[in-house]
Structure 1
Amino acid sequence: MGKFEQDAKTLLQAVGGKENVTAVTHCATRMRFVLGDPKKADVKTIENIPAVKGTFTNAGQFQVIIGNDVPIFYNDFTAVSGIEGVSKEAAKSAAKSNQNAIQRVMTMLAEIFTPIIPALVVGGLILGFRNVLESVGMPWLGQQIADGAKVFDADGNPVWNTITMVSPFWNGVNHFLWLPGEAIFHFLPVGITWSVTRKMGTTQILGIVLGICLVSPQLLNAYAVPGTSAAEIAENWSWNFGFATIARIGYQAQVIPALLAGLSLAYLEKFWRKVTPEVVSMILVPFLSLVPAIILAHTVLGPIGWAIGKGLSAVVFAGLTGPLKWLFGLIFGALYAPFVITGLHHMTNAIDTQLMADTATHTTGLWPMIALSNIAQGSAVFAYFFMKRHDEREAQVALPATISAYLGVTEPALFGVNVKYIYPFVAGMIGSSLAGLVCVMLNVQANAIGVGGLPAILSINSKYFGSFLLTMAIAIVVPFILTFFFAKTGLFAKKEEVVEEVIAPVTETTTPTNIISPLTGQAKDLATATDQVFASGVMGQGILIEPSEGELIAPIDGVVSVLFPTKHAVGITGSNGVEMLMHIGMDTVTLEGKGFEAHVQQGDHIKAGDKLISFDINLIKEAGLVVETPVIITNHTDFPAEILGDLPRQVERGQAILKA
């Protein structure tokens, strides 16, 4: 049986059946569906599926959060549904039919900026580290210090020198790290124009060339433009065509000019490909696309984009520094988490970058509040975990989500817990709002965009470290306390989440069921399994058998509930309701059935001792895989497993090994 085969079957029915699935694909953590009628999706049923951590709809796609096992779940889903998966791009294209104009624009922007986020994060970490080297001062008594640095001032007091002033080595490291830092932020337009062409499906090398034409050393650096007079630009930094002149201004670190230029290039290329004869398209299309795009970038789109970008950053800067900055901090702090849900948060990367390009200090006050929102939502889900720590299912979702949010990735926390139960989400928003208020009032600034959550302090300008620590404390403590308060009072909780007295159902006393060994070999404790999913007991209780013979028999009377297509695993539902899983080897699904022979079919009624599967032990080992086989009771909460005899020990097929 596939690890998630039963869950996949339930999900297929809950999304409206095969006929309602227009397209399906997956990303790193989620199944992504494009549904013919999204209203047919039974969200409550889906969220009760054991493997599912939450659901949400975004960019025209119905997304089901699975976690790190999503590739396995996806394979099982396509196997049981008979639906052939499509590429992410095909799914996104199909999803556009479910989006309005604004959603399409936001989706496009998100898809353009997402590929360059890793570079921004790396750049942020680098600048954050340089920030520590250049700004953190200490009285380096007794240390060898660089020329010009002093240990004591004229009055004999210790002088606080920075690390770069004291250590030649770290001074060299600091200078070296500026190389990638400059490449990422000063030459950001190259990444943007490349990403635009990648998104639009046009020639990516042309996008790179266009980006270079926006930041070439032949141009006046964008950072020098404010300090250069119009007369000097006209005389020394212009192209003179006789009848007209064009300013030779660069667009280093500028976002919107690069975005507009990249889009012009992509649409020009698409147009010329449609109208140009194939025999000359290789020559004409690149030329007729790139050259006009460069001209447009330096005559119309660049200046317009510059003005829009400066206007946008000026509005945000006014909000961060104006007389109503306290209100801006409250509102932005509260709304960033909802931005994440809608996908609007991708735009903040562009605004942050623009702020660093336009402000005199080349810092941003927006990024600290984003990091505080990550922390606040992480604290809310941590409080939920603390309350539900004895609930295995809830704890398995909440604890990883907490860690993820504290490290700057809030989607698992938001969609897996906080939005699902509402009151942790509200608690996180309130905590983030208060932290945002304090943050702007203390004028906390970041030198760059870096890792969010707790590590974001590395991006904070060193003189604001203390202030940011205070805001972090608010973002941790307030949501944690409020989540407990809301849970106790029922405030903001869904009706079905309000704690009520539960009357345990009366059940009949059942006779324990003896389970025989399906294999001959060495029986071991399940906790020794190579696969941590089995070893942890998440899948069920039972034992692990290292088989010495390649024959698997039925351990109980019942029905073959699931037989995986690759024949490497089988599930049985016993006559009295015991549900069992036997998984021959680890990662043996990769053999695609080679070396396995099934003697039963799904749905067959069987007796204990009937032959189920024959398998080639040597072939499995030659493939570099282990043959150890978990024999587990998956519904162990209803039928706790009792191991008969000591482990490890040798067992024979047909010998009693477990009692349910």
Structure 2
Amino acid sequence: MGKFEKDAKVLLEAVGGKENVSAVTHCATRMRFVLADEKKADVRAIEAIPAVKGTFTNAGQFQVIIGNDVPIFYNDFTAVSGIEGVSKEAAKAAAKSNQNPVQRVMTMLAEIFTPIIPAIIVGGLILGFRNVLESVGMPWLGQQIADGAKVFDVDGNPVWNTITMVSPFWNGVNHFLWLPGEAIFHFLPVGITWSVTRKMGTSQILGIVLGICLVSPQLLNAYAVPGTSAAEIAENWTWNFGFFTINRIGYQAQVIPALLAGLSLSYLEIFWRKRIPEVVSMIFVPFLSLIPALILAHTVLGPIGWTLGQWISAVVLAGLTGPVKWLFGAVFGALYAPFVITGLHHMTNAVDTQLIADTGGTGLWPMIALSNIAQGSAVLAYYWMNRKNEREAQISLPATISAYLGVTEPALFGVNVKYVYPFVAGMIGSGIAGFLCVSFNVTANAIGIGGIPGILSIQAKYMLPFAAIMLVAIGVPFVLTIFFRKAGFFTKAEDETVKAPQVEALQEAKEAATKVELVEVMSPLAGEVMPLSQATDPVFAQGVMGQGVVIVPNEGELVAPVDGVVSVLFPTKHAVGIVSTDGVEMLMHIGMDTVNLEGRGFTAHVSQGDTVKAGQVLIRFDMDVIRNSGYVTETPVIITNQDQYQADALGELPRTIQRGEKLMIASRL
């Protein structure tokens, strides 16, 4: 009898039986189902299964969080169900049948924009910092000031100078930071066309070349187009082919033109791949894909995309500034959290970027940041009410911090949507905050980090109103969550049997372990160690899998952090679990979503069940293969039996660490 055979049988029945499972696969922590009818899945019964830590639905897939024993569970499930597993990509393809056309478009947009979001966030932080340097003024009495700045006016009153006017150093910093700011936003089409080809599985270098051709210095900069007359464009900014001309217009910071151009390139490449013999495809496919896509971009798709983008931004701007802007703000503020659940929120990245390009700022981003804060405050209230319940506190407090920093998935899926009343309280709070936000015309310079740090992206003259509105977004959901719980509004039965237990350890290893009070854990990697809350994957960041740290490696070698037994080694070699001789259970997951590489770039030097010593090589991996495939190399190192051991990182984080250095102390509870 398999270890999870009983649980697997219960899960099969709870998901609606074999006939309701269209496809099933797994990643490093979750079973991923494509169900014929998701309504047949009994979520309450599933979450009551001992091995299950939680559930959620995303992109047409019903996902069941198991933990580092998921390969064993998966094998037992396929054995008892008789269902043949499929690859992750095949499951994603099957999941599309559960999505309507709008959901499919949103899923595509999400997969296109997700890889470039880090750059957009960095750009937003840079613009926010430059915003402070250029716009925040005060009387700088007794300070050395730059040329042209005055300390007193003609009447002897102090003059409010900005930081750049006073300090030559910060003025230089301000100018220097424009370099990455321009690279991110002016050349955004390059990132978009690259990401489109990456998502479509076509030649990424061609996407980069196409993007460069949309923002080349040989073109009239998009920011200069509104101030350039049609006559001057016709005379100086055209390609003249004798019988006709084409405007040499750039598409700096434009989203839709780059999106359409990238898609045309990808579909052309797919078309020619199927029709041109492989022996000459290297010559003709790139040429017949890039050149027509470039022509389409500058003749048809670019102008159409520019117009569509202006229409969209005009409609949104009308909502933000029109006579019923208060209603627009209230509705958008309230509905943004449901957008996150459905994936529709990724569309706002394109709208925000278009607004910034057309108007120099966006009124949507402040409301998004406030929605993050509101959902975080709802979870904070839930934590406050359940702070004496260790299990609930371990989930809700990290989720609160994550939401306050702009990542709401742990809060939404871990607490708010599960129990409903915090979710409703957060929506009401963010709706009120959105109403106030548009009433005071709060505008952001750019997209930045969501949540509380979002204030750095707000234009200086709106920072004080935004700070006051943040207090509303913090206070209202907190109070409403407590009120709803005590009054019984929007509440669901919170049966203890529904709550997720910890991951079960391998019984044999547990019985053999000699439990001690303190266990030193060595670093399995060389690189930069950071708090686990900064992990890209919300499941790791919120501590669902366990507590620990995340390491960004600078060398592709993973060693054992403790003496023990290899409890699990994934077939794709991207993750490994260890049960130490002292009873500490650990999981090390190399990169995020690297299961998709199907073992490419990974070499295992141990097998499941092997006894290992601290410092012994477990896995070697090629960081270039991971990065070139579009994945991050950050590696969570976590203690999974957190009901028995508490993980405490050593030293201040972030910090640089070498393999074999002391990383954590595991304290027995």
* TM-score strictly above 0.5: yes
Partner in structure 1 of residue 262 of structure 2: 262
Could you tell me how far 1:137 is from its partner in structure 2?
1.1
Partner in structure 1 of residue 489 of structure 2: 491
Q: Secondary structure at the match of 1:165?
A: helix
- The structure-2 alpha-carbon separation of the partners of 1:87 and 1:520, relative to structure 1 and needing over 3 Å to count, comes to closer
Within the candidate set 584, 603, 613, 1:620 is matched to: 613
Within the candidate set 380, 395, 402, 1:397 is matched to: 395
What is the CA RMSD across the aligned residues, in angstroms? 3.7
Could you tell me how far 1:189 is from its partner in structure 2?
0.6
Could you tell me how far 1:394 is from its partner in structure 2?
1.7
Q: Secondary structure at the match of 1:524?
A: coil
Could you tell me how far 1:160 is from its partner in structure 2?
1.5
> 1:634 & 1:180 partners in 2: Cα distance?
45
Cα pair 2:380 2:400 within 8 Å, conserved? yes
**1:524 is aligned to 2:516:** yes
Partner in structure 2 of residue 458 of structure 1: 456
Cα pair 1:12 1:77 within 8 Å, conserved? no
Deviates more, 1:46-55 or 1:340-349: 46-55
**1:372 is aligned to 2:373:** no
Partner in structure 1 of residue 73 of structure 2: 77
For residues 473-512 of structure 1, what are the structure 2 equivalents within 5 Å? 473-494=471-492, 496-497=493-494
Q: Secondary structure at the match of 2:613?
A: helix
Partner in structure 1 of residue 207 of structure 2: 207
> 1:467 & 1:285 partners in 2: Cα distance?
55
Could you tell me how far 1:89 is from its partner in structure 2?
3.6
Cα pair 1:128 1:458 within 8 Å, conserved? yes
Q: Secondary structure at the match of 2:179?
A: helix
- The structure-2 alpha-carbon separation of the partners of 1:391 and 1:243, relative to structure 1 and needing over 3 Å to count, comes to same
- The structure-2 alpha-carbon separation of the partners of 1:474 and 1:51, relative to structure 1 and needing over 3 Å to count, comes to farther
Deviates more, 1:11-20 or 1:261-270: 11-20
- What amino acid sits opposite 1:267 in the alignment? Y
- The structure-2 alpha-carbon separation of the partners of 1:220 and 1:633, relative to structure 1 and needing over 3 Å to count, comes to closer
Could you tell me how far 1:594 is from its partner in structure 2?
6.8
Cα pair 1:320 1:365 within 8 Å, conserved? yes
After superposition, give the CA deviation of every residue in 1:123-173 in whole Å (9 maximum; x if it has no partner): 111111111111111222221111111122222222221111122211111
For residues 188-207 of structure 1, what are the structure 2 equivalents within 5 Å? 188-207=188-207
Cα pair 2:605 2:617 within 8 Å, conserved? no
- The structure-2 alpha-carbon separation of the partners of 1:569 and 1:295, relative to structure 1 and needing over 3 Å to count, comes to closer
Could you tell me how far 1:585 is from its partner in structure 2?
7.5
After superposition, give the CA deviation of every residue in 1:502-526 in whole Å (9 maximum; x if it has no partner): xxxxxxxxxxxxxxx96697x632x
> 2:173 & 2:136 partners in 1: Cα distance?
15
**1:358 is aligned to 2:339:** no
After superposition, give the CA deviation of every residue in 1:348-387 in whole Å (9 maximum; x if it has no partner): 000000000001xx11111000000000000001101111
Partner in structure 1 of residue 25 of structure 2: 24
Cα pair 1:9 1:77 within 8 Å, conserved? no
Unaligned runs of 5+ in 2: 497-509, 523-531, 533-539, 547-562, 571-575, 590-603, 619-638, 646-669
Partner in structure 1 of residue 661 of structure 2: none
Q: Secondary structure at the match of 1:113?
A: helix
Deviates more, 1:4-13 or 1:461-470: 4-13
After superposition, give the CA deviation of every residue in 1:297-340 in whole Å (9 maximum; x if it has no partner): 11111111111100000000000001110010010001100100
Could you tell me how far 1:492 is from its partner in structure 2?
1.2
> 2:461 & 2:609 partners in 1: Cα distance?
65
- The structure-2 alpha-carbon separation of the partners of 1:288 and 1:593, relative to structure 1 and needing over 3 Å to count, comes to closer
- What amino acid sits opposite 1:454 in the alignment? I
- The structure-2 alpha-carbon separation of the partners of 1:270 and 1:585, relative to structure 1 and needing over 3 Å to count, comes to closer
- The structure-2 alpha-carbon separation of the partners of 1:291 and 1:568, relative to structure 1 and needing over 3 Å to count, comes to closer
Deviates more, 1:448-457 or 1:102-111: 102-111
Cα pair 1:401 1:412 within 8 Å, conserved? yes
> 1:193 & 1:564 partners in 2: Cα distance?
39
- What amino acid sits opposite 1:101 in the alignment? P
- What amino acid sits opposite 1:524 in the alignment? V
- The structure-2 alpha-carbon separation of the partners of 1:287 and 1:425, relative to structure 1 and needing over 3 Å to count, comes to same
Cα pair 1:22 1:36 within 8 Å, conserved? no
Cα pair 1:197 1:262 within 8 Å, conserved? yes
**1:230 is aligned to 2:230:** yes
> 1:126 & 1:7 partners in 2: Cα distance?
50
Cα pair 2:23 2:86 within 8 Å, conserved? no
Cα pair 2:22 2:94 within 8 Å, conserved? no
Cα pair 2:25 2:91 within 8 Å, conserved? yes
Deviates more, 1:31-40 or 1:148-157: 31-40
Could you tell me how far 1:622 is from its partner in structure 2?
5.7
Determine what percentage of the aligned residue pairs are the same residue.
72
- The structure-2 alpha-carbon separation of the partners of 1:76 and 1:389, relative to structure 1 and needing over 3 Å to count, comes to farther
Cα pair 2:519 2:582 within 8 Å, conserved? no
- The structure-2 alpha-carbon separation of the partners of 1:146 and 1:565, relative to structure 1 and needing over 3 Å to count, comes to closer
Could you tell me how far 1:54 is from its partner in structure 2?
4.1
Within the candidate set 459, 465, 468, 1:467 is matched to: 465
Partner in structure 1 of residue 133 of structure 2: 133
- What amino acid sits opposite 1:414 in the alignment? L
Could you tell me how far 1:427 is from its partner in structure 2?
0.4
Q: Secondary structure at the match of 1:64?
A: strand
For residues 7-406 of structure 1, what are the structure 2 equivalents within 5 Å? 14-15=14-15, 20=21, 22-26=23-27, 31-49=31-49, 54-64=54-64, 70=67, 72-81=68-77, 88-359=88-359, 362-406=360-404
Within the candidate set 434, 437, 446, 2:435 is matched to: 437
Partner in structure 2 of residue 413 of structure 1: 411
Q: Secondary structure at the match of 1:345?
A: helix
Q: TM-score, normalised by structure 1?
A: 0.76
> 1:199 & 1:520 partners in 2: Cα distance?
46
Could you tell me how far 1:48 is from its partner in structure 2?
3.3
Kindly tell me the number of residue pairs found equivalent between the two proteins.
550
Cα pair 1:53 1:415 within 8 Å, conserved? no
Could you tell me how far 1:15 is from its partner in structure 2?
3.8
Cα pair 1:404 1:412 within 8 Å, conserved? yes
- Highest CA radius of gyration, 1 or 2? 1
> 2:57 & 2:609 partners in 1: Cα distance?
42
Could you tell me how far 1:23 is from its partner in structure 2?
3.2
> 1:48 & 1:279 partners in 2: Cα distance?
57
Partner in structure 2 of residue 574 of structure 1: none
- The structure-2 alpha-carbon separation of the partners of 1:488 and 1:4, relative to structure 1 and needing over 3 Å to count, comes to farther
- What amino acid sits opposite 1:620 in the alignment? K
Q: Secondary structure at the match of 1:141?
A: coil
Deviates more, 1:324-333 or 1:45-54: 45-54
Could you tell me how far 1:433 is from its partner in structure 2?
0.4
> 2:495 & 2:376 partners in 1: Cα distance?
22
Could you tell me how far 1:35 is from its partner in structure 2?
3.4
- What amino acid sits opposite 1:333 in the alignment? G
- What amino acid sits opposite 2:23 in the alignment? T
Cα pair 1:595 1:620 within 8 Å, conserved? no
Could you tell me how far 1:116 is from its partner in structure 2?
0.7
> 1:530 & 1:249 partners in 2: Cα distance?
58
Could you tell me how far 1:400 is from its partner in structure 2?
1.1
- The structure-2 alpha-carbon separation of the partners of 1:138 and 1:99, relative to structure 1 and needing over 3 Å to count, comes to same
For residues 490-639 of structure 1, what are the structure 2 equivalents within 5 Å? 490-494=488-492, 496-497=493-494, 524-525=516-517, 528=519, 530=521, 583=583, 592-593=606-607, 596=610, 619-621=612-614, 623=616
Could you tell me how far 1:7 is from its partner in structure 2?
7.3
Could you tell me how far 1:421 is from its partner in structure 2?
0.9
Cα pair 1:568 1:593 within 8 Å, conserved? no
- The structure-2 alpha-carbon separation of the partners of 1:594 and 1:106, relative to structure 1 and needing over 3 Å to count, comes to closer
